[in-house]
Structure 1
């Protein structure tokens, strides 16, 4: 696998067995566009197809934000459906089939879709200035790109309930305390730490790593197809509600939303 510059997505090889994938839209807090979703979907496929790559690291450019979620300008322009790929879901990543471990290297804010992309990875390394959160309920929507499904697999049920219903972000230190992430490191060093972890994994027997991951995912995610079906049902109910229109409108108008409960 060669170094590839795909505009909003950078892909490079580190050493013999590690791929580093970088979200590259720092000017908009690495918000996910339709083009980035397509590029990330393709990058996952390329990494899966390359037998020499054993581990992938997902990072983001700029240092201020890991990912702000979907690009709202594209959503407003009617391109929201293109940000969620038919087969692989939001960002071309959250439902992508992967047999190799992915480590998220998070510096800055990872809110909404940014947290969901992180949760779709197998491990998370965060700089001490990182923040994680699922604030969708504050906008009349929900964390439908895997946030609701995956959060309780990382943290306890009461903590997941609080994060999903209050919608407030947590610091990297708090995220480590509740077992949402693996490691906290000084700001600006998350990528280096994630690559070091990837190197350690890549030094191990690849078949043993692959099968360990397969069984671990099966144990944790065995009911995931059914959960995604229920996720779609919840999404349809929410999208059809008046509150789902009021939340984004209030956000754009910089006012407190007036919920109707309808």
Structure 2
């Protein structure tokens, strides 16, 4: 009997659904999983007819982070990928990515959520940074990304106690965009992704890149760099299509280039 891939991809029109597929271990990530996730995100960025991605987990959980048994067996050595650990931490995709969260999004699972641009969560979802409980230090971005997404003292409570927070609390404090009934996170995330498709895909990608990179720029640099990134939309065939569709009062037919 063949073993199913640890990461699944499914193209739904212009949306790529990426599923972490290790439900027997709550979708924790080992080197192979990270490599496959990295490859899936490369596919999202490189394929013109893919405009938006959705990242989710199989079997009722998003992800519980790194596979501690695999890490222990390798004496703590993590191979890493061109996108960093977990296949995403250091270089999320250039195109918009929506997290669809059921169950646990903890440790690296939460850090993967922080690499996404929008988060849809089941009302039963739980978010946590529990590394300190194992005398580990979260190094996938939580310690510097989380305090920019939620209030400082709540972020410190999460990273210093390791205690989980529910979806409603995370929604109230701005980490989660939408809360849905259990089992509906993926459907809602895909629906939201499809709603984004009314917009020009090259403009979506450029807009995301400017927003996510601007925190590293001075104001003077921002006006220079945003112009450089905006060129991918302004110089694209999609820009001409968008203007033509507006003039002709029709729906644009985007190409992603």
TM-score by length of 2: 0.80
CA-to-aligned-CA distance 1:151-176 (integer Å, 9 cap, x gap): 01211212211111121100011110
In the TM superposition, 1:104-253 aligns within 5 A as 104-220=99-215, 222=217
Matched residue, 2:73? 77
Indicate the SS of the match to 2:87: coil
Indicate the SS of the match to 2:62: strand
Matched residue, 1:229? none
Task: Tell whether 2:55 aligns with 1:27.
Answer: no
CA-to-aligned-CA distance 1:7-65 (integer Å, 9 cap, x gap): 101001012x10000000000111101111111111111111101100000011101x2
User: 31, 34, 37: which one pairs with 1:37?
Assistant: 34
Task: Tell whether 2:64 aligns with 1:68.
Answer: yes
Q: Distance in 2 between matches of 1:98 and 1:60?
A: 18
Indicate the SS of the match to 2:114: helix
User: 8, 11, 19: which one pairs with 1:10?
Assistant: 8
1:190/1:215 CA distance change after superposition, 3 Å: same
Any conservation in 2 of the 1:33–1:83 contact (CA below 8 Å)? Answer: no
Task: Tell whether 2:52 aligns with 1:55.
Answer: yes
Indicate the SS of the match to 1:84: coil
Task: Tell whether 2:94 aligns with 1:96.
Answer: no
Q: Is there any run of 5+ residues in structure 2 with no aligned partner, and where?
A: 219-257
Q: Distance in 2 between matches of 1:84 and 1:130?
A: 28
Indicate the SS of the match to 1:53: coil
Number of equivalences: 216
Indicate the SS of the match to 2:18: strand
Q: Distance in 1 between matches of 2:63 and 2:19?
A: 11
1:83/1:77 CA distance change after superposition, 3 Å: same
1:124/1:97 CA distance change after superposition, 3 Å: closer
1:82 Cα deviation after fit = 3.3
1:125/1:25 CA distance change after superposition, 3 Å: same
1:221/1:29 CA distance change after superposition, 3 Å: farther
Any conservation in 2 of the 1:34–1:79 contact (CA below 8 Å)? Answer: no
Q: Is there any run of 5+ residues in structure 1 with no aligned partner, and where?
A: 224-262
